A and B are shown apart, each in its own frame.
Chain A
Amino acid sequence: MKLLFFHTDGGAVLVHGSRCEDCRAAAFPARRICATCASRNLRPENLPARGRVRATSRVSTPPFGFDEPITVGVVELDSGPALFSLFTEPLPRGAAVRAVPGPVRSGTDGFVFEPAKEQR
């Protein structure tokens, strides 16, 4: 099983989002109507899964589909959208992160955010 809304390109994870042709706001998941300006003029865009940590939480009592404690959080992608995701470890607000391929619920092939090593 693999999540259907991303692919990898040279090790980098790209999520399948959209961009508004009128106000330029990016969105993930992809939208038909812009959440910012309500324009109908949107096109699909693959968004690099890199950004900064908004908050993370160590979840000691995870839901079904996870055997071990997990770290979840929200990342603000450099392209704009905020995304609820898994993280490799708890990280402070503002930490630079990037997604790498990794298992999500029930071992499905997905992605997990880890600290971004290189300076951006």
Chain B
Amino acid sequence: MTGVHVAGVGMTPFGKFPDRGLEDLGLEAVLAAVDDAGLHQREVQAVYAGHARTGRLLGRENGVGQLVMAAAGVRGIPVTGVGNFCASGSTAFREAVMAVMTGLYDVVLALGVEKLSVRPEKGKPLTSDGMELEGEFGFTPPAFFALVAQAYLEKTGASADDLAQVAVKNRAHAEHNPYAQYRKPLTAEEVLGSRMIADPLTLLSCCPTGDGAAAALVVSDRMARRLDRKTVRVEATSLLSGCGDPTATGGFEVDRKTAHAAYEQAGIDPGDIDVAEVHDAFTVTEVIHYEDLLLCPPGDGVKALLDGQTALGGRIPVSTSGGLMSKGHPLGATGIAQVHEIVTQLRGEAGARQVERATAGLTHCAGGFLDGDVAISAVHLFSV
């Protein structure tokens, strides 16, 4: 088996782009990624394209990857659509990694693209696939995570005021990320004083949606040696389906198992991670992820946050891109945008938000719901 490397990344800014289609957004990310690697798009041998809501919203349940690659002048190669809820992009990346790892291809592109600004229910929470039964009783993602928050706050004695600091921190990071949708600094008072969505989660405790695309070019050892570009090694890819009971435990067992498998695969100690992008869809989830991904000891999530350990300049900066909280969450693009940030950090190209001497990074994306738990957890580890 060959080692696997990220040779190039590219993304659009995330935001609301009523005048831009999937093809246009996807093409910008693909060209940015191949240019970044110093390759031509016709050197790409296979593509995995993540998207989650293009069927319901845009009548393209299938074929987004083919659409974008044809726009790039690339036809006659294997292109596979990947749908896995909010983790569609992470899953497309994993498929690309495995396709290179097996030795089948030397250059594989992972693409994620989504356009949520066309949804009709503006001002209402995004719904989730497959929640028909629970939907009869008012289920929405923020309502579910509000219940998880209640369990976490009760377990730890933390407060809603504490959780608001996640939004403040991630917005401070976003100020330095030109790809982020929201970059104006926030105060805890603004977070707590914004419209209540589901107690204790206010509007600014929930990530915004958005439009955007991101791409990563994954290559073999052989190809990495050929390139001038500084590449980033993929040390682990781990993905599991849900297996816990977070409204009971205030934590995500599936994330613990997924992360554990990733650390084992990589032979990396959690303490060696220098920078992480986690699925901060809600303030509370970021804090819980610190614990489940072993970025801090169990029970110390809020302490790690309030001590500044997870802010830029801290022990383990988390969501240096601004996270989903500030970038927004165009579902299929999110997981690959996380890879974009970690690769940028490990190459030392993150500018004002650079984590000093970062040599190992983590991405984590969860997605969907099934039977009282999230449906998916995906963790990837990287190093230089």
Contacts and interface: CB of A to CB of B under 8 A. Distances in A.
B266 to A, nearest CB: 32
Contact of A57 (B123, B136, B198, B248): B198
Nearest to B202: A60
A14 B140 CA distance: 25
B125 A60 contact: no
Interface string B307-326: 00000000000000000000
Given A63-B125, A64-B121, A82-B248, A105 B137 contact: yes
B137 A57 contact: no
Given A64-B124, A82-B245, A57 B143 contact: yes
A3 B123 CA distance: 28
Contacts of A105: 135-138
B127 A57 contact: no
A5 B197 CA distance: 29
A60 B135 CA distance: 16
Interface stretch (A18-26, A39-47, A70-78): A70-78
Give the size category of A's interface with B.
20 to 34
Contacts, number: 96
Between B196, B198, B248, the greatest number of chain A beta carbons within 10 A of the residue's beta carbon is seen for B198
A72 B135 contact: no
Interface string B121-139: 1011101000001111111
A84 B125 contact: no
A55 B150 contact: yes
Interface in B194-237: 195-200
A80 interface: no
Given A60-B199, A61-B196, A84 B150 contact: no
Interface residues of B, number: 32
A105 B134 CA distance: 10
B146 A86 contact: no
B137 to A, nearest CB: 5
26 contacts: A3-B136, A54-B147, A55-B150, A55-B151, A56-B147, A57-B146, A57-B198, A57-B200, A59-B199, A60-B197, A60-B199, A61-B142, A61-B195, A63-B127, A63-B135, A63-B138, A63-B140, A72-B147, A72-B198, A73-B147, A74-B248, A82-B245, A85-B137, A90-B199, A93-B150, A105-B136
Given A54-B147, A55-B151, 14 more contacts: A54-B151, A57-B150, A58-B198, A59-B143, A59-B197, A59-B199, A62-B138, A63-B121, A65-B138, A74-B247, A85-B137, A93-B150, A105-B135, A105-B136
